[in-house]
């Protein structure tokens, strides 16, 4: 097994996208808790859930950002893909800064069982920026096709298998294709 698989994921199964799902989900929950607390729904409990979710989100952001940075470093600089990925990176870093500021400035409110107005605004700005960053991340994958193998005829079990098959490696450009392999594997 290649060492790069530990930080980038397997061909066809990159690490960054599922980590983004977790991170975005946690920040979405935090934002929901903040809004519910602000409108008076179980204010103290929601404030506690909000702040704890923010902290968990910030922790999960670490490996998410690291895997994204590793992917970003492999992109041809100056290309349209690089420009979109760089905008995605900047949006996500900006969102993280706002979530961090919300956690820092909202800690006092958390201790008192409330989400303060300033912390709520910081959280909402972070969430808006996160949404933009997620959109741009989707563009990186679904428009530019980054790390997409396009093995549409790959049998379902082989496609879903958490292993680096020769077909997946060839489609990812990680090894030369043998003449005896199926046609149409490169993207």
For residues 129-156, give the mean pLDDT.
93
Q: What is the DSSP letter of 52?
A: H
Indicate whether 185 pLDDT > 50: no
- CB 177 within 8 Å of CB 186: yes
Q: What confidence score (pLDDT) does residue 169 get?
A: 87
67-95 confidence digits (pLDDT tens): 999 999 999 999 999 999 999 999 999 99
Q: How remote is the C-alpha of 159 from its chain's centroid?
A: 22
- CB 96 within 8 Å of CB 61: yes
SS3 assignment, position 4: helix
The angle that helices 80-112 and 43-73 make with each other, rounded to 10 degrees, is: 160
Which pair of structure tokens corresponds to residue 135?
A: 């959109």
pTM of the predicted protein model: 0.86
14-73 confidence digits (pLDDT tens): 899 999 999 999 999 999 999 999 999 999 999 999 999 999 999 999 999 999 999 999
At 108, give phi and psi (nearest 5°).
-60, -40
């Amino acid at each position: 097994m290649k060492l790069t698989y530990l930080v980038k994921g397997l061909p066809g199964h990159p690490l960054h996208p599922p980590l983004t799902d977790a991170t975005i989900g946690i920040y979405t929950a935090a934002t929901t808790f903040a809004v519910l607390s602000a409108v008076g729904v179980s204010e103290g409990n929601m404030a506690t859930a909000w702040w704890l979710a923010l902290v968990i989100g910030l922790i999960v952001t670490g490996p998410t950002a690291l895997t994204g940075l590793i992917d970003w470093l492999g992109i041809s600089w100056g290309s349209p893909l690089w420009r979109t990925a760089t905008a995605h990176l900047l949006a996500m870093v900006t969102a993280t800064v706002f979530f961090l500021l919300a956690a820092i400035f909202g800690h006092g409110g958390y201790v008192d069982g409330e989400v303060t107005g300033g912390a709520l605004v910081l959280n909402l700005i972070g969430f808006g920026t996160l949404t933009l960053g997620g959109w741009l991340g989707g563009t990186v994958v679904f428009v530019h096709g980054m790390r997409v193998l396009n093995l549409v005829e790959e049998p379902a079990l082989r496609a879903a298998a958490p292993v680096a098959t020769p077909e997946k490696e060839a489609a990812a450009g990680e090894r030369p294709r043998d003449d005896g392999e199926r046609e149409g594997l490169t993207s």
